[in-house]
Amino acid sequence: MSTDEPAPQRKNPLHGVTLERIVTDLYTAYGWERLGEMVNVRCFTHDPSVPSSLKFLRRTPWAREKVESLYLWHLRELKRAGQG
């Protein structure tokens, strides 16, 4: 089994997914208002945009973890509904 990728990354569903893609997919699926309810951070509730959200999430690990967790939940829900 020859691969350049370590085993833990192969099983990581976020491997290769950019934070921009995560934020954009969640915004597309839920909109800013609902996203702000799901993850109550100012970058989603006050004058939200993808660039401002990325700036905040890149420097705020706890918020990024919440958004990544929501994204994983979102992917599971899509798969459960047969859309993923």
Spatial distance between the Cα atoms of 11 and 25, rounded to a whole number of angstroms: 21
What are the backbone dihedrals phi and psi of residue 69, each rounded to the nearest 5 degrees, phi first? Answer: -65, -45
Residue 15: what pLDDT?
Answer: 87
Residue 11: what pLDDT?
Answer: 80
Residue 7: what pLDDT?
Answer: 60
pLDDT digits (tens, 9 = 90+) for 22-55: 999 999 999 999 999 999 999 999 999 999 999 9
Spatial distance between the Cα atoms of 40 and 62, rounded to a whole number of angstroms: 12
8 — pLDDT class (breaks 50, 70, 90) = low
CA nearest 23: which of 47, 54, 62, 63? 54
Per CATH, the number for 18-80 is 1.10.720.30
64 — pLDDT class (breaks 50, 70, 90) = very high
